[in-house]
Every structure is written in structure tokens, then in C-alpha cells.
Amino acid sequence: MALSSRVAVITGAASGLGRATAARLVQNGARVILCDLPTSDGVNVARKLGVSCHFSPTDVTNEDDVAAALDLAESSFGEPVNTAINCAGIALAIKTLSKKGVHQLSAFQQTINVNTVGSFNVARLAAERMSKIRPDTDGERGVIINTASIAAYDGQIGQAAYAAGKGAIVGMTLPPCQRSVLIRHSCKHNRTWFIHDAAFSRTSGKDAKGAR
């Protein structure tokens, strides 16, 4: 499926990897829904990217928000989403125990909830929509990409929560890649992949709430 045929939802799309991914897709003719928190710069980013791009305020852990983004894609572009790219995430650097005290459980839970549960929430709801698409000439209905990290295998000091969440993304992405699972869920020709990113300029480490 050519990029010009893509109708995509991209999470964490107001900055960093998500924004860069959205820009590249739009440049190549794709139509894109930018998903990020209402407090993000999503409206301005969508305006800069042009008429092939719309912003949908989205907390990836909220089912209704994600469903609304998928609905917006279909109502705006006349066809359902065939591409979902999970870039939203929190990148905390907190030691398990330091002079400042013990790692707060709430911070660990929030990181897992956004990075892992949020990615799964988007993937599962997007897969449901894609399962109803007629396969193209290559037999493809859609593609889902989850963003893991090198930290999943080589986490650094202070990355307990981040590495755990990214490792979980690797683990949860592999099962849907198996052909038998896709057939059982009537999504035989959906492709699910993950990528490992290295360090780059982004906002997820500055504002945890703004990175969803």
C-alpha cells in the first residue's frame, strides 16, 4: 500500500517522533489525524501541515478519545484508518532509591499506563476498524506500528519505569504479529510491528502529562 493511500492516526503527534512521522507521511500524500493531549500544540501543528491533517485531542488511555480520533479520520477523509502509529509516551528518569527518596509508585504506574496500556488501547481499537477493510491488491488491510526503545533491552540508570514499559511493548506486539492470532481475530492481513528508537529531541521527559 503506497503512502498516498494511507489514512493514519499518530499518537504523540504534536512533538518529537510523532510530529516528524506525521510530517513525513503528509509530505508523501497520506492523510493524517494527529493525536495528542488538548494542552499540546496539536492544533498549530495540524495547521502547519495543511488540509490533509487534522488534530484530535486524545488521551491514549481513554477509550472514548481514541474512538473519537478514529471516527474523525473516517468522517474527514471518507474512509477508515488503515495505519496506526503509536508515538505517545513518557520518559522519566528516576532512580528506584536515591538521596531524594524512593521512586514513587504513582510515577511508575503512570508511565506504564501511558506507554504500554495506551499503546495497546490504540492498537486494539485500530485493529478492529482495519478488520472491516477490504484487502488491497497486496492482500493488506492495514498496519500498526508501536514504538519500543533500545531501553527495552539496555535500560540505563533511572529508567526502571520507562524500560519496563518499553519491554512490555515488545512483548505485547509479538503475539499479534503471529499469523494464527490475526486469523482468529479476522484481521489476517493487518500487520503489527514495533520499532526501537534511540535518543532524540522531544518533550516527553519534560512534561509527563503533555506526552500522552
Q: What residues does each domain of the chain span?
A: 3-211
Cell numbers standing for residue 38: 488538548
pLDDT digits (tens, 9 = 90+) for 14-63: 999 999 999 999 999 999 999 999 999 999 999 999 999 999 999 999 99
Per-residue DSSP letters for 114-149?
Answer: IIIIHHHHHHHHHHHHHTTSPP-TTS--EEEEEEEE
Distance CA 191, CA 116 (A): 19
Among residues 50, 61, 41, 56, the alpha carbon closest in space to that of 10 is found at 56
Stretch (H or E) spanning 108:
helix 105-112
1-5, 52-56, 60-64, 70-74: range with lowest mean pLDDT: 1-5
Distance of CA 87 to the CA centre of its chain: 4
Class of domain 3-211: alpha beta
Bigger pLDDT: 116 vs 190? 116
Bigger pLDDT: 48 vs 193? 48
pTM: 0.83
- The pLDDT score that the predictor gives to residue 176 is 66
> Which residues are designated catalytic?
162
